[in-house]
Chain A
Amino acid sequence: MTETAQPNQISGATKVKLVLAWIMVSVPLVWGVLNTLEKASQLFR
């Protein structure tokens, strides 16, 4: 049996979970990247 993903079947609740999950991992990552860039800017001063 081959099941296929149907994007139009993704419920509103799943979309909310999806956004929350990506925010949860993106926020700390962006914070880390910004910190790194700030430190790296010393190199070009």
Chain B
Amino acid sequence: MSTAARADSGGLFGWLDRSHTVAKPGFSRWMVPPAALCVHLCIGQVYAFSVFNLPMTKLIGITESAPDDWKLTELGWIFSIAIVCLGLAAAFTGTWLDRVGPRRAMFTAALLFGGGFLVSALGVHLHQLWLIYLGYGVLGGCGLGLGYISPVKTLITWFPDRPGMATGMAIMGFGGGAMIASPLSVLLMDYFSSPTDVGVAGTFVTMGLIYLVFMMIGAIIVRVPPHGWLPEGYTPPAQPKKMVTANHVHVDEALKTPQFYLLWGVLCLNVTAGIGVLGQASAMSQEMFPGKITAAAAAGFVGLLSLFNMIGRFFWASTSDYIGRRNTYMIFFALGMALYAAVPWTGHTGSVVLFVLFYCVIMTMYGGGFATIPAYLRDVFGVRYVGAIHGRLLTAWSTAGVLGPVLVNYIREYQINHGVPKADAYSVTMYIMAGLLLVGFLLNWLMTPVDDKHYMTEEELKASMEN
């Protein structure tokens, strides 16, 4: 029995099969981005999870932490476990996703992510932290990884003329998800709170159900194009651009190419620089501009960065369709270097406006890095296994998620312990970040097309389609 037959299970869940998701005549490809956004707007919640941390330190004491209440350090692990599971799930489920199609993958992601919230609600109710590690951390994290990569290949196939814009739209949703989740969580906790309850369990149940339904809608409306489909008026270029292949590289073969590791480094360094300062943005703005930026204004600054992170995902990924992926990353690294190096200068001049402006531009490139990478992979390795290869590459994100904050925090502590004033403690960090971007620039500069020997033959491609 072929793997395709095994993937098409029929029965109660037959509607999830790839064969049931092939678009019928009259279907508009513009239905696919909202389907992808249904998933990404939900899983983007992960960036807003910290809103639950403080209330969860008062589950017993309610107004203040009781001795048996959980500590912030213990709660910090929930996010970390989720991010690690995100990377692992994206890396290990890519090939399965490629076989079963986007609907089954999105359905599974919805069950895992929504279910993770419900298990966590039980953990809060029973005051069992391990249930939250398991629920939001492991189950939710796996749902995150699977949900993140599930619509990517489908979007690229529907939009061969604008792959950057298409994936940028979905990945923009991941950036926007936190902007919805943060105020929604606060509203729900207010609603469910009482003199004996901080309202976290009720909020988890409600959000879990909302996300489950929303992601299921995405799974229902997603479609894959019929084999060989092309948009009206689009003819694949007879002479492909130098960095855009018309061939396909198998996911296992991609791991044997230097291009995969160059792109891994490119993504890792771009994310390390961005994520490092994003986590410290609030404290950094207040310490660099004491008396000028208050705690409330700093919260506004963080919100503004999220907004530009989201805008950058769509803007840069769409722009890359015109200027090329390699050039787009060249801009990220060159402009990023200049801006990171200039941030300490804004502190010395006391210019809040320039500080905010520089960071907003930096954040567009941080988001743009995530959103442009699927189209970059498609250009280099072809469409056939782009979803699976993207999944493997996301381990760079998990690595950067640890590296970035550790670098920023460690360097800041070291500076302060050696007598550097708080206002200047970030200068060295910024120069180091600029140095990381220089390395990223060089890695991206080294990018060349994949050697012909790695491309799949016609027979291999045909066999992979049948499977």
Contacts and interface: CB of A to CB of B under 8 A. Distances in A.
A31 B293 CA distance: 26
B230 A4 contact: yes
Contacts of A6: 25, 232
B299 A39 contact: yes
Interface stretch (B29-37, B195-203, B267-275, B457-465): B29-37
B34 A25 contact: yes
A43 to B, nearest CB: 4
A2 B234 CA distance: 11
Interface in A3-41: 3-7, 9-11, 14-15, 17-18, 21-22, 24-25, 28-29, 31-33, 35-37, 39-41
A30 to B, nearest CB: 10
A43 B300 contact: yes
A24 B173 CA distance: 13
A5 B31 contact: no
A28 B44 CA distance: 13
B228 A2 contact: yes
Interface stretch (B64-72, B242-250, B303-311): B303-311
B179 interface: yes
B176 A32 contact: yes
Interface residues of B, number: 42
Contacts of A42: 294, 296-297, 299-300
A36 B307 contact: yes
Contacts of B403: none
A4 B179 contact: no
Contact of B303 (A4, A10, A24, A39): A39
Contacts of A11: 26
A8 to B, nearest CB: 10
Interface string B212-246: 00000100010001111111110000000000000
A18 B307 contact: no
Contacts of A4: 229-233
A21 B34 contact: yes
B221 A21 contact: yes
Contacts of A43: 293, 297, 300-301, 304, 352, 356
B183 A18 contact: no
A44 B433 CA distance: 27
B180 A28 contact: yes
8 closest Cβ pairs, A-B complex: A32-B179, A32-B180, A42-B300, A21-B34, A40-B304, A43-B300, A25-B37, A40-B300
29 contacts: A2-B229, A2-B230, A3-B225, A3-B226, A3-B230, A4-B231, A5-B28, A6-B232, A7-B232, A9-B25, A10-B28, A14-B28, A15-B28, A18-B30, A18-B31, A28-B180, A33-B176, A33-B179, A33-B307, A35-B182, A35-B183, A36-B307, A40-B301, A40-B303, A40-B304, A41-B300, A42-B296, A42-B300, A43-B300
